[in-house]
Amino acid sequence: MSYRKRLNNWAIARLLDSNQWVIIARFRIRSDADGHLLFLRRTMPDIQLKVVFDVTEDA
């Protein structure tokens, strides 16, 4: 994984109907992710979103 990708560990994830999470956006700072999550919840209130710490590694 490149250095730049390792910096963006905070993510906003969306729950799909099949109980799978999909990453919508990535952020370096948790407060940036929280702020964007508030915006998304105001514009799309029916979609389940969550801020997560993404530690997935590419082999």
> Residue 54: what pLDDT?
83
Beta bridge partners of 11: 26, 52
- Measure the CA–CA gap between 10 and 46, rounded to whole angstroms: 22
Q: Which band of pLDDT confidence, cut at 50, 70 and 90, is reported for residue 58?
A: low
- Measure the CA–CA gap between 13 and 37, rounded to whole angstroms: 10
Question: Taking the complete model, does pTM exceed 0.75, yes or no?
Answer: yes
> Residue 30: what pLDDT?
93
Q: Convert the pLDDT of each residue in 9-45 to its tens digit.
A: 899 999 998 889 999 999 989 999 999 999 999 999 9
Q: Residue 59 pLDDT more than 60?
A: no
**Ranges of each domain in the chain:** 3-53
> Residue 23: what pLDDT?
93
Contact between 58 and 39 (Cβ < 8 Å) = no
